[in-house]
Amino acid sequence: MKRYLLAPGPTPIPPEVLQAMALPIIHHRTPEYEAIFAEVRRDLRLLFQCQSEVLMFAASGSGAMEGAVVNTLSPGDQVVVIRGGKFGERWAEICEAYGVRVLPVDVPYGKSVEPASVAAVLQRDPAIKAVFATQSETSTGAVHDIQALAAIIRRTPAILVVDAVSSLGVMDLAMDAWGVDIVVAGSQKGLMLPPGLAFAALSERAWALVPGARLPKYYFNLAAERKAIEKNQSAYTPAVSLVVGLRESLRLILAEGLPNVFARHDRLARATRAGVQALGLELFADQPGCACTAVKAPAGIEGGAIVKGFRKRGITIAGGQASMKGKIFRIAHMGYVDGFDVLTVLGALELVLADLGYPVKLGEGVRAAEEILQK
């Protein structure tokens, strides 16, 4: 059976990247590795749209999230966390695990934060050290307006920390131009790599908090990593094969051009939305992002049954997490994905829904998507 991986991470990997990662391991303290590392450092800054070094860790994306917390805060510090899904909630869980006081700005699942509500909390309490946000809330498919949040937060003493794990290389995030202080990401979403690399980039404003941050840390010590990377080294053994693969995926992304990469994801997202809506289904997010489309399971059909129907046909999509379990299913269109992947998913969705007794006219979803893709 041919397999298709269209879940919101891990995502498919281009053959150029797979081939590079299959080469024999090289040692990381050699000129050969250092040449690769130098290229990766340069290209990561282009991808993050920042001047500062992008630090790399052998971890999943959550490792960089934890790194952002422990390197900028001290016990008892007060922060704002925008919670509108599993990943916003993760920021709060990490902060609470370290004794940081969290002022939550809660938005219902599927909704996006109203930037003015964050401004109101910041105004009430000038002691707030940081605001934690999620650009693409993968659990609901909703996008949060980071540019608008940055415009508010940069006028306050607080820093803005953004989880861009499922939006880096998918949607625009102009870190320096918008005034975002920390961007964290992972390898297994828009970067078209296997899981296992975490990234963090810090503005000068964020770096200024690092020396005074008293939360404990050892591996995720950003200052130590910055010292090493300035010598074109990493503090510890890097995930060599992933970094070798990263060079290839960055080459692919930059050859396509960032604006084209964002436009492609936007087109694929619009085609997917048009396809599911043409089948009479509803989107879960009010302001859906380009990484994945969350769809409400139709009345009387359990979301899990849809995911299972896909799996039976060799296609991996995702269901809902936590309280969204059974109520939604999620189709990813990020990374190494094109219009034919979208058509495959929609064709399969029609068959799966028909199997489950949902009234569908075969071809209607595919046709709606094709009309978008043809433009």
Residues within the interface to ligand PLP (CB under 6 A): 9, 60-62, 87, 134, 136, 138, 163, 165-166, 186
Tell the smallest beta-carbon distance from residue 63 to ligand PLP (Å).
7
Q: How far is the CB of 290 from ligand PLP (least distance, A)?
A: 13
Measured from the CB of residue 31, what is the shortest distance to ligand PLP in angstroms? 32
Residue type, 137: E
Pick between residue 64 and residue 373 the one whose CB is nearest to ligand PLP.
Answer: 64
Q: Supply 300's token pair.
A: 């009387």
Contact between 66 and 200 under an 8 Å Cβ cutoff? The reply is no
Pick between residue 72 and residue 134 the one whose CB is nearest to ligand PLP: 134
At residue 90's C-alpha, the angle toward residues 225 and 6, to 5°, is 90
The whole-angstrom separation of Cα 102 and Cα 213 is 17
H-type helices in the chain, by residue range?
15-21, 31-48, 61-70, 86-97, 115-124, 146-153, 175-178, 204-207, 222-229, 240-256, 258-278, 303-312, 339-355, 364-374
- If the CB atoms of residues 33 and 57 are measured against ligand PLP, the closer one turns out to be 57
Residue pair 294/141 in contact by the 8 Å Cβ criterion: yes
Min CB(76)–ligand PLP separation in Å: 26
Q: 49 vs 166, which CB is nearer to ligand PLP?
A: 166
CB of 202 to ligand PLP, least distance (A): 18
Q: Is the peptide bond before 24 cis (omega within 30 degrees of 0)?
A: no
Half-sphere exposure of 72 (CA within 13 A, CB side): 30
Minimum distance, C-beta of residue 185 to ligand PLP, in the bound complex (Å): 9
Q: Which is nearer to ligand PLP, 128 or 165 (CB)?
A: 165
Nearer of residues 249 and 366 to ligand PLP, judged by Cβ: 249
Distance CA 295, CA 276 (A): 8
Tell me phi and psi for residue 56, to 5 degrees.
-125, 140
Q: Shortest approach of ligand PLP to residue 182 CB, angstroms?
A: 14
How far is Cα 56 from Cα 62, in angstroms, rounded to an integer? 13
CA–CA gap between residue 181 and residue 164 (Å, rounded): 12
CB of 132 to ligand PLP, least distance (A): 11
Are 225 and 199 spatial neighbours (Cβ–Cβ below 8 Å)?
Answer: no
Nearer of residues 49 and 134 to ligand PLP, judged by Cβ: 134
- 159 versus 334: smaller Cβ distance to ligand PLP: 334
As beta bridge partners, residue 81 has 104, 132
